[in-house]
């Protein structure tokens, strides 16, 4: 990542002179707890050693001048006229400025250069990394005094309202709260969180990128949310105290939803099981039982594929290839779904052979090269 930082700094210098601030902002993984965040459940994410850098200075006028090194595109506009446009990378920046202004945090114009090494569209939350880097930078430069949790919530709001993706809180949270060698169990209902040591010596976390992102990902995501909300509405008729799927047991879901809309039933049943699974997985981590942990990853994949229906044939095949190798402890699709990466837990010594064999089989089947990213758990958004 250091090279990326130097590249962003050099690019800033060439365009705008000396930058006032540099911010580093990581991608994220999630060990377990998928599609649970917006259902008030638990997640177990961590920040990783792939990220973006943002070099930025405030201006004395209202103008916004930006450049993306990844897209090699410029953007020019004004703080007074923030609108969503056709440049997706710029929209993530503008969304944050929009939310800040609506909350009464007036922003000055700024010059900004952005770039990094989070693969885009791979489910590693490059968008949350941009949003969090920008809110962190604006908070620092304007002295707004926002807490980390408040920045997380405003960045999530930018994604929900400006971009229109009704994501939960996990990505922005992991980005801001990440710590080296620690995974974070977040209770998305109370926002209480606990760090769990996850020291990767003997075992590695390896991401395999399908290099596919199906275009329906965002719309299907919003539809899954609606299915869950529909389930909650039915449950509330008998259990008025229920506010989210976090508040019900699988027995209640079976009793109250199995006779109705089968799609809603399967979605809710997956979510309630997954929320319980995160707690069991954390208990396994605490007793250092990675075998049990890995089995739960496979169970999550099964649920995401069959009941929640957010997987795709490419992801299923990568998990199948992992499961066929007895040394792999666990594997599953990660993130929103419909493409992106699988996360695999395996002995570090087997990583090279795994990458070689799995890549060859995947390429043969889909005529497409997957990418492999061994990841290290690293620190959240900060000034490098
Ligand atoms: C995306 C969203 C997150 C979360 C995951 C699924 O990454 O941004 O809020 O819902 O999908 O677990």
pLDDT confidence bin for 199, thresholds 50/70/90: confident
pLDDT-derived band at 201 (thresholds 50, 70, 90) equals confident
Element (H, E) at 251: helix 250-257
Whether pLDDT at 296 is above 80: yes
- Report the length, in residues, of the chain: 384
Q: Is pLDDT larger for residue 175 or for residue 288?
A: 175
Looking at ligand 1, which residue's alpha carbon is closest to its atom 11? 336
Whether the Cβ atoms of residue 35 and residue 308 lie closer than 8 Å to each other: yes
Mean predicted confidence (pLDDT) in 288-303:
96
Query: pLDDT digits over 81-112, tens only?
Result: 999 999 999 999 999 999 999 999 999 999 99
Decide if 74 contacts 66 (C-beta within 8 A): yes
Per DSSP (E only), the strands in the chain are 21-30, 42-43, 45-58, 63-68, 73-78, 110-116, 182-187, 193-197, 203-213, 330-333, 339-347, 371-375, 377-378
- Which atom of ligand 1 is least distant from the CA of 37? 10
Q: To the nearest 10°, the Cα dihedral for 125, 175, 294, 216?
A: -20
The rounded distance, in Å, linking the Cα atoms of 183 and 163 is 28
Pocket test for ligand 1, best of 167, 173, 342 (most atoms within 8 A of CB): 167
Gyration radius of the chain over CA positions:
21
pLDDT band at 217 (very low <50, low <70, confident <90, very high): confident
Strand 63-68 versus strand 73-78 pairing type: antiparallel
Compute the distance between CA of residue 170 and CA of residue 187 in angstroms, rounded to an integer: 10
Average of pLDDT values for 380-384?
A: 97
Distance 68 CA to ligand 1 centre (A): 25
Res 1: pLDDT: 62
Q: Do residues 298 and 316 make contact, with C-beta atoms less than 8 angstroms apart?
A: no
- Write the residue with the smallest CA distance to atom 2 of ligand 1: 167
In the chain, how many H helices and how many E strands?
Answer: 11, 13
Phi-psi region of 299 (alpha: psi -120 to 50; beta: other; left: phi over 0): alpha
For ligand 1, which residues put their CB under 6 angstroms from it? Answer: 34-35, 37-38, 167-168, 170-171, 335-336
- Eight-class DSSP state of 382: B
Residue of 37, 98, 117, 171 with catalytic role: 171
Q: What is the pLDDT of residue 216?
A: 77
State whether residue 115 is helix, strand or coil.
strand
The helix (run of H) or strand (run of E) holding residue 14 is: helix 2-16
- Report the C-alpha gap between 276 and 4 in whole angstroms: 40
Question: What three-state secondary structure class fits 341?
Answer: strand
Residue 70 falls in the annotated catalytic set = no
Predicted pLDDT of residue 2: 78
What is the rounded distance in angstroms from the CA atom of residue 226 to the CA atom of residue 220? 10
Please state the atom number of ligand 1 nearest to the C-alpha of residue 43. Answer: 12
Strand partners, 343: 207, 332
- In this structure, the residue with its CA closest to atom 1 of ligand 1 is 336
For the residues of 123-184, what is the DSSP string, one character each?
SS-HHHHHHHHHHHHHHHHHT----HHHHHHHHHHIIIIII-----SHHHHHHHH-BTTEEE
Q: Whose Cα sits closest to atom 9 in ligand 1?
A: 168
Give distance in angstroms: CA of 338 to centre of ligand 1: 12
What's the CA gap between 191 and 141, in Å, rounded?
Answer: 27
Q: What is the rounded distance in angstroms from the CA atom of residue 281 to the CA atom of residue 276?
A: 9
Q: Which residues contact 108 (CB under 8 A, 6 or more apart)?
A: 58, 59, 60, 61, 62, 79, 142
Look over the chain and give the mean of its residue pLDDT values, rounded to a whole number.
96
Give the ligand 1 atom nearest the CA of 336.
11
> Which tens digits make up the pLDDT trace of 58-77?
999 999 999 999 999 999 99
- Write the DSSP symbol of residue 24: E
Q: How far is the CA of 96 from the centre of ligand 1 (A)?
A: 18
**Residue 19 Cα, ligand 1 centroid: separation in angstroms?**
33
Distance 324 CA to ligand 1 centre (A): 27
The model carries a pTM of: 0.96
Give the pLDDT confidence score for residue 320 in this predicted structure: 98
Q: Tell me if 293 sits within 8 A of 330, measured CB to CB.
A: yes
Which among 331, 333, 329, 325 is positioned nearest to 306, based on CA atoms?
Answer: 333
């Amino acid at each position: 990542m250091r090279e990326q930082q130097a590249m962003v700094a050099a690019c800033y210098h060439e365009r705008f002179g000396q930058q006032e601030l540099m911010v580093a902002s990581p991608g994220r993984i999630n060990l377990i707890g998928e599609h649970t965040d917006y259902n008030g459940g638990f997640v177990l994410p961590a920040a990783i050693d792939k990220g973006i850098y943002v070099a930025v200075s405030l201006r004395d006028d209202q103008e916004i001048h930006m450049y993306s090194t990844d897209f090699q595109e410029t953007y020019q506009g004004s703080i007074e006229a923030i609108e969503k446009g056709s440049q997706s990378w710029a929209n993530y920046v503008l969304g944050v400025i929009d939310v800040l202004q609506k909350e009464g945090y007036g922003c000055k114009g700024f010059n900004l250069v952005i770039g990094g090494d989070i693969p885009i569209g791979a489910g590693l939350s490059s968008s949350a990394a941009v949003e969090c880097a920008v809110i962190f930078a604006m908070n620092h430069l304007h002295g707004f005094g926002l807490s980390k949790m408040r920045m997380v919530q405003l960045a999530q709001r930018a994604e929900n309202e400006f971009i229109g993706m009704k994501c939960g809180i996990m990505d922005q949270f992991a980005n801001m709260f990440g710590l080296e060698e620690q995974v974070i169990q977040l209770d998305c209902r109370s926002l209480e969180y606990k760090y769990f040591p996850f020291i990767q010596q003997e075992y590695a976390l390896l991401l395999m990128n399908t290099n596919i992102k199906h275009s329906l990902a965002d719309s299907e995501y919003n539809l899954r949310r609606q299915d869950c909300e529909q389930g909650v509405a039915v449950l509330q008729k008998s259990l008025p105290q229920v506010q989210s799927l976090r508040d019900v047991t699988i027995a209640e879901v079976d009793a109250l939803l199995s006779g109705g809309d089968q799609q809603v039933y399967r979605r809710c049943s997956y979510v309630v099981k997954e929320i319980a699974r995160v707690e069991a997985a954390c208990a396994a981590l605490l007793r250092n039982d990675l075998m049990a942990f890995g089995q739960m990853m496979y169970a999550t994949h099964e649920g995401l594929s069959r009941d929640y229906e957010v997987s795709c044939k490419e992801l299923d095949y990568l998990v199948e290839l992992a499961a066929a190798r007895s040394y792999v402890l666990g594997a599953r699709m990660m993130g929103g779904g419909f493409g992106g990466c699988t996360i695999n837990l395996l002995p570090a010594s087997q990583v090279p052979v795994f990458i070689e064999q799995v890549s060859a089989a995947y390429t043969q089947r889909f005529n497409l090269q997957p990418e492999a990213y061994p990841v290290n758990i690293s620190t959240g958004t900060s000034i490098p």
